[in-house]
Structure 1
Amino acid sequence: MVVLESVLTCPECGHAETFQMPTETCQWFLECPNCHIVLRPKSGDCCVFCSYGTVACPPVQQGDNCCA
């Protein structure tokens, strides 16, 4: 079963918020609603959910290496 919600934590200000993950595309950028910096994936990660979320993106959950 694929989880479609993930709590992202901003590495700059520590703000945590639950977001719905897209199933058909990667989320490469996300603006922190608190401090407004733009989150980008860490090197080697395919999206912001894999870098800063409590749950990896749907393709990774299904065993793929990266979003397609």
Structure 2
Amino acid sequence: MADVRTTSILTCPNCAETSRETMPLDACIYFHECGACGALLRPKAGDCCVFCSYGDTPCPPVQQERGCCR
């Protein structure tokens, strides 16, 4: 199995600001507040977390192909 990445660069869909965030190995992050514009990011329909919707790397459970940790 490939190594699991635990950081992802989130891009705000509102202002395009980026931030490097650490992803938990065993939990989904449903909300993230943009540090630049204050927008509250939520997962897009069909995605389990903000990393899968707005990150350059999906969350660790999805990387491991075992689905999210709901």
Above 0.5 in TM-score? yes
> Counterparts of 2:60 and 2:9 in 1: how far apart (Å)?
14
> Counterparts of 1:37 and 1:48 in 2: how far apart (Å)?
13
The sequence identity of aligned pairs, in percent, is 53
> Counterparts of 2:67 and 2:27 in 1: how far apart (Å)?
14
Unpaired runs of 5+ residues, structure 2, are none
Letter in 2 for 1:30: H
| 2:50 match | 48
| 1:13 match | 15
Coordinate RMSD, CA, aligned: 0.8
- Contact 1:59–1:66 under 8 Å retained in 2: yes
Q: Matches of residues 26-37 of structure 1 in structure 2 within 5 Å?
A: 26-37=28-39
**Count of residues in Structure 1 that have an aligned counterpart in Structure 2:** 68
Unpaired runs of 5+ residues, structure 1, are none
